[in-house]
Amino acid sequence: MWSNGRMTPETSGFVPVRDRIANHLREAIASGELKPGDALPSLSVISAEWEVAKATAEGALALLRDEGLVVPGGRGKPATVQAPKKRHNIYLSDGWTQQQKDLVLRPEAERRETGAIELTAGISIDDTDSSSIYTETSADAEQAQILGVEPGTPLVQRVYEMVHKSTGLRCSWSVSYIPRALIEGNPALLDQNNEPWPGGHQHQLYTVGIELARFTRTVFSAQPTPSERAAWGMNPGTPMLHVLSRSIDTQDRVVEYSEARYPADTTEITVTEELRPWTSEQLNAAGGA
């Protein structure tokens, strides 16, 4: 079952045997021959079937672990096929920021019931535990350029984290920076104990007379740190999506910028762009061109 039909010398062919073993098992997983939860052959079995050293067999399984296809074994237990992870759609510009802005003017009771995690990922606030840590820092050169302030300008750094109550794994993490002078008119905005704030950061800005006009966002990927991987329950080799957001007010100032992170293997990002219809004048002009 596990062999490719013939004994393959470890050094034959152009494709390393380690990769051919991994391909063979990968195809068995893709075809359903190996199903989620099924045990993979042991290192001894792979070594015997393919006539290779155990280190080569171990390297093949390591490739599959890094791809998130298998769950490592240990203490005499074999590696098993990883069940597909549920993907959460993160809505970045599909109307949720307008929903959040509309929520600013709603009664406090309503603002308390709906947070960003529900609007972006559909996860109930009641299913999560949240923490917020505020610290004061100074703008470095990059932060100063983004925010349009002088280097050394006092900033408030705010780190937000949410974890699933059922699993203890992280479901949301972000860090934001805002010039202290913009929010110090409301001392409540400098106290992390007032989090979670009913209505989120748009309502916080509203209390000091700031109305947001738009957001700009940049997405890139990077490898997570070991501690991040453990906090999210990520498979080895899975990259992290970084989403950088700039909050721009009606005076065209960048009043806050933030960075949120999401595991790439469980995240889908939907971006919707509305297109204006052609006017009759445009159509008529085009018809006569």
Distances (CA, A) of 94 to 8, 217, 219: 53, 13, 15
Q: How high is the pLDDT of residue 32?
A: 86
What does the pLDDT average to over 272-279?
A: 81
pTM of this structure: 0.67
Taking only the tens place, the pLDDT of each residue in 207-220 is 999 999 998 989 99
The string of pLDDT tens digits covering residues 119-169 is 455 566 677 788 999 999 999 999 999 999 999 999 999 999 988 888 888
| Architecture category of domain 17-81 in CATH | Orthogonal Bundle (1.10)
- The CATH T-level fold of domain 88-270 is Chorismate lyase (3.40.1410)
Distance between terminal CA atoms of the chain? 68
Q: When comparing pLDDT for 66 and 264, which is higher?
A: 264
- pLDDT over 50 (residue 181): yes
What pLDDT, in 10s, does the model give residues 195-209? 988 888 899 999 999
Percent of the chain with pLDDT over 90: 38
Spell out the alpha helix ranges (H) of 122-276: 141-147, 180-183, 200-206, 226-232
For residue 174, is pLDDT > 80? yes
Give the residue-averaged pLDDT of 6-20: 64
Full 3-state SS string of 167-202: CCCEEEEEEEEEEHHHHCCCHHHHCHHHCCCCCHHH
Q: Is the peptide bond prior to 196 cis by the omega test (within 30 degrees of 0)?
A: yes
**Interatomic CA distance for residues 90 and 266, integer angstroms:** 10
* Residue 7 confidence (pLDDT): 41
Nearest to 210 by CA among 165, 256, 142: 256
Residue with tokens 């960048």: 254
Domains 17-81 and 88-270 share a fold: no
Q: Encode 10-22: b = buried (16+ Cβ within 10 Å), e = exposed.
A: eeeeeeebbebbb
pLDDT at 227 over 80: yes
Per residue in 34-67, pLDDT (tens digit) is: 988 899 998 889 999 999 999 999 889 888 887 7
Alpha-carbon distance of 170 to 233, in angstroms, equals: 8
Query: Residue 34 in 3-state DSSP?
Result: coil
Domain layout of the chain by residue ranges? 17-81, 88-270
DSSP 39: B
pLDDT recorded at residue 67: 74
The DSSP output letter for 163 is E
Residue where the block lists tokens 């019931």? 113
